Amino acid sequence: MKKQRKRRKLQTPSDDVRNRILDAAAELVAEGGFPALRMDDLARRAGIAVGTFYLYFEGKDDLFVQLVIGYTDRLLERFHEADLQDGTVTERLARRFDRYLDFVDENRAGFLYFRDSGAVDTTGGRLSAWALKVHAADTQPLLEEGMATGEIREQDAELLAHAVVGLLQHIVGVWLDDPDSMSRDRIRRFLDGFIAFGMQPRSRTAGDGRR
């Protein structure tokens, strides 16, 4: 008991130091990708000794998991910030799409590494599945609100949330795999149309009388 307390004290946990390490790691990942991240560069950037890193993280794998959790948190924060502004559900969803595109654009190297290496197992399940589920679960209430107000056609809200999240992640990945092949505007325009109206021609939709 005493020993444990002593051990805890030695770790001098400080949210400030932990966040400094995570911020420095995010910067270095953005610059050079995760595989190239070196402990001594990270320590220098965070202004800590290398040994201090291991008081906060078990190693590089643990850092990756914590980074993904941190990125997910920050993405949701931006969504919630966007939700605070007025607007119809459709407008608020469109703002979320913009926030998502901005976020991925700012964190290109991190996003691609997450997409390609995020399937690591954790005690909470596969990391990438966890992050996408969190994103979908956060989107679902907005979709349900839209169905309640009549802005969104009644459909399976859970699957719709998964579909929107999966579609965004895939399209953005196609973009970042070859960023010069298409503009952000082109993606945004496509998403607006497809997510709102699907594939059916508007005229046929209007005329065929099906619900």
For a copy of itself, the binding residues (CB under 8 A) are 115-117, 119, 126, 129, 132-133, 143, 146, 150-156, 159-160, 162-163, 165-167, 169-171, 173-174, 177, 182, 186-187, 189-190, 193-207, 210-211
Q: What is the DSSP letter of 87?
A: -
Residue with Cβ nearer a copy of itself (77 or 116): 116
Residue with Cβ nearer a copy of itself (41 or 144): 144
Residue with Cβ nearer a copy of itself (17 or 171): 171
CA–CA dist 89, 92 (Å, integer): 5
For the CB of residue 193, give the shortest distance to a copy of itself in the complex, in Å: 5
CA–CA dist 170, 166 (Å, integer): 6
Residue type for position 165? V
Q: Which residue has the tokens 């290496």?
A: 117
Take residue 187 and report the two structure tokens written for it.
């993606």
Q: How many CB atoms lie within 10 A of CB 131?
A: 19
For the CB of residue 162, give the shortest distance to a copy of itself in the complex, in Å: 5
Beta carbons within 8 Å of 34's beta carbon, 6+ residues apart: 64, 67, 109, 110, 113, 117
For the CB of residue 20, give the shortest distance to a copy of itself in the complex, in Å: 30
For the CB of residue 198, give the shortest distance to a copy of itself in the complex, in Å: 4
Cβ atoms of 138 and 79 closer than 8 Å: yes
Residue with Cβ nearer a copy of itself (47 or 179): 179
Residue with Cβ nearer a copy of itself (50 or 196): 196
